[in-house]
Structure 1
Amino acid sequence: MIVVPEEFTRCTVEREGEPGAAWLAGLPGIVEEVLGRWDHVPDGAVTHGGVGIVLPVRRRGDGAERASVLKVSFPHPGNVHEPDAFAVWGGRGAVQLHARDDGHFAMLLERARTSTLAEVGDADEVAEVAGRLSRRLAVPAPRDHPQLPCLSGQAGAWEDQLREDATELVHTMSPSTVDAAVATVRELGREQAELLVHGDLHARNILRAEREPWLAVDPKGCVGDPAYDAGTLLTSRTPALLDAPDPGKAAHRILDIFGEAAELDRVRVQRWAQLRFVQAAFWGRRHGFRVARGGPGLDVITQFADGLAELLARRA
């Protein structure tokens, strides 16, 4: 019987309420059932991310050379297409998918190391590694991709939310900065490339590995513009940017290095990043952030997001 970490239990119940508590009660049984069917046994302690647990496992009777991990996620629309993305990539720049049970939101995956790209102190290396992986993961979407979420399909909702937030929320961004984000949605968001992209490519979702130096995990599996993930990377670097002597210069350098490594148009990268910072500034005011749910810490981050969105709009 597995031991589910207390922090994961608490966060899941806080976020999902009774459905989360019911899922947690059945989680040990799910793990036991899928491991028995796939003929694997536990090989370490349970760890977790935001929405799922990860258990080191190995095939019954095999040694460490056949090591894998079992990932079981809370059933949520945002988790549906993770195995689809892994299946398309086939280990190219991401961990390999060995088996899947979509009904239980369970996957048997290649085991990578526990250290992430976020632990690397060199900001240039972080941006370059993420950019190289973005280029490798951006492959033609499968022909039956209508089952995959298309970023272009979200453009209308993005524009509506931007206008609603700009009207209802107190913020320090100029009208031209919000207008620049809306223009990006209209000009870049409504028609996008038919490419499979990660959709959440930040440094914590890139792990050290044996087969390749770095491998991506936790994809959303979206169809759209690879430059979208530049905004994901940059917003995730906010804590480091806050400590930088010149945050604006540091942000531009991250985008320059990422764009070059990913072989993407620099202006396109900049515009997506600007949009994502405007969205983040509004999201934080409505919902808080993982690193700051409220209080002075949240104020610092939202005001920083306002300022960086302004700066990126001027350069773009």
Structure 2
Amino acid sequence: MLTVPPAFAEATVVREGDAGSTWIGELPALVEEFLERWSCTVSGPPAHGSVGVVLPVVRADGSDAVLKLSFPLAVNAAEPVVLTAWNGDGAARLLDRADDRYAMLLERLSPLGDEVPDPFTAVGRLARRLAVPAPPGLPSLAERALQWVDEVPAHAARLGNPLGRKVVDAAVANAREMAADDPAVLVHGDLHFGNLLRRDGDLTAVDPNGFVGDPAYDFLPLLRGEWYARPPDVERAIAEFADAAEVDRERVRRWAQARAAESALWSRDLGEPSWVTDVVDAIAGDLA
């Protein structure tokens, strides 16, 4: 019987209230249901992200896999659709799914391991590999950008304009420009090293958000993650990612600035640590 990780249980209840408490209470039985349905046995302790738990399992044929159960949020519904579209090419292979229960059986991948040389080039190449025709029904990045045109100035005003007029105006202009001419391919949406593992040494994506739009959108999470360790040469990073992903450098810059400004505002609302907010503040300002 699963022992739900206490930190995951607490965070879920705080975020989701009574619905979260109910789901956490049902989670051990849900795990047992899918272990039986997919003929698996648990082979290690659970891990978790912010909205789901992952259990290493062994299938009836002796092969390794992972069982993933996510809290039933609309944002999680796209993951099996996106993984099916990639069919294991650059992303975790989906072995079985129960969309109505937000349950998936996935191939087991290896840890990322040592630092990745030339990270912006490496992830840019992966972004290009993942840019396949998008399946129907995914949220649109163009529509998301158009929402920012109205929401970012209003959000900034509610918070007392912490970013400054120049940064907000740039975010609005960039969002409007990106919405006007957005490619229609599959985009991971949260492509950083926390969502990358390895298959036979190759970078392999997990935990996609799933959008239809522009692969240039995926630069910011990587830049933000690298910035936490040490601020990179942003112009060089943009060039390396854009060239490897085969996208326009200016689109990488524009998406990153608008997305950083939007993230900086939400970072304040969510009460994230100041060092997290400071990074997206700096990116939004530097690229304005």
Which residue of structure 2 aligns with residue 170 of structure 1? 160
- Structure 1 length-normalised TM: 0.85
Partner letter of residue 30 of structure 2? I
Structure 1 residue 155 and structure 2 residue 145: aligned? yes
**1:295 corresponds to which residue?**
none
TM-score by length of 2: 0.93
Per the alignment, do residues 165 and 6 of structure 1 end up closer, same or farther by CA in structure 2, a change over 3 Å counting?
same
The alignment status of 1:128 with 2:118, answered yes or no, reads no
SS of the residue corresponding to residue 132 of structure 1 reads: helix
Cα distance in 2 for residues equivalent to 1:213 and 1:155: 32
Q: CA deviation at 1:37?
A: 1.4
| 2:188 aligned residue | 198
1:276 and 2:276 matched: no
2:108 corresponds to = 111
1:215 CA drift (Å): 0.7
What's the offset of the Cα at 1:93? 0.2
Alignment of 1:137-152 (within 5 A): 137-142=130-135, 145=136, 147-152=137-142
Deviation track 1:149-192 (CA, whole Å, cap 9, x = no partner) reads 11122233212211112322235544232211111111112442
Q: State the partner residue of 1:58.
A: 58
Residue 306 of structure 1 pairs with residue 281 of structure 2? yes
Cα distance in 2 for partners of 1:261, 1:96 equals 24
Aligned to 1:40: 40
Q: Of 246, 249, 264, which residue of structure 1 is paired with 2:247?
A: 264
1:172-191 to structure 2, matched below 5 A, reads 173-191=163-181
- Whichever residue aligns with residue 160 of structure 2, its letter is V
Note if contact 1:278-1:309 (Cα within 8 Å) is conserved in structure 2: yes
**Conserved in 2, the CA contact under 8 Å of 1:131 and 1:260?**
yes
Rounded to whole Å, the distance in 1 between the matches of 2:27 and 2:163 is: 45
Residue equivalent to 1:214: 203
Quick one: which amino acid aligns to residue 284 of structure 2?
A
- Return the alpha-carbon distance in structure 1 between the equivalents of residues 280 and 235 of structure 2: 14
1:234 to 220, 223, 235: 223
For 1:221 and 1:54, how far apart are their aligned partners in 2? Answer: 19
CA displacement 1:86-113 (0-9 Å, x = unmatched): 0000001001001000111000001012
Which AA in structure 2 matches 1:254? Answer: A
Say if 1:199 and 1:303 are closer, same or farther in 2 by CA, change over 3 A: closer
Alignment partner of 1:25 is 2:25: yes
Unaligned runs of 5+ in 1: 293-297
Q: Deviation of residue 201 (structure 1)? A: 0.8
CA gap of 1:88–1:301, structure 2 versus 1, over 3 A, is closer
Aligned residues: 288
The question of whether the paired residues in 1 share the 8 Å contact of 2:228 and 2:279 is answered with no
RMSD: 1.8
After superposition, the C-alpha distances for 1:175-232 in whole angstroms (9 at most, x for unaligned) are 232211111111112442110110111110011223x522100001110111011122
Amino acid at match of 2:264: A
Q: CA deviation at 1:286?
A: 1.6
Q: Deviations over 1:67-93 (max 9, x none)?
A: 110000000011001000000000010
C-alpha distance in 2 between matches for 1:38 and 1:196 = 29
Q: Give the aligned partner of residue 70 of structure 1.
A: 67
Identity %: 45
Question: Which letter does structure 2 place at the counterpart of 1:280?
Answer: S
C-alpha offsets along residues 220-253 of structure 1, whole Å, 9 cap, x if unaligned?
Answer: 111011101112222333412xxx3xx3x52333
Q: Which moved more, 1:66-75 or 1:26-35?
A: 26-35
CA distance in 1, matches of 2:169, 2:27: 46
Are the aligned partners of 2:66 and 2:107 in contact in 1 as well (CA < 8 Å)?
A: yes
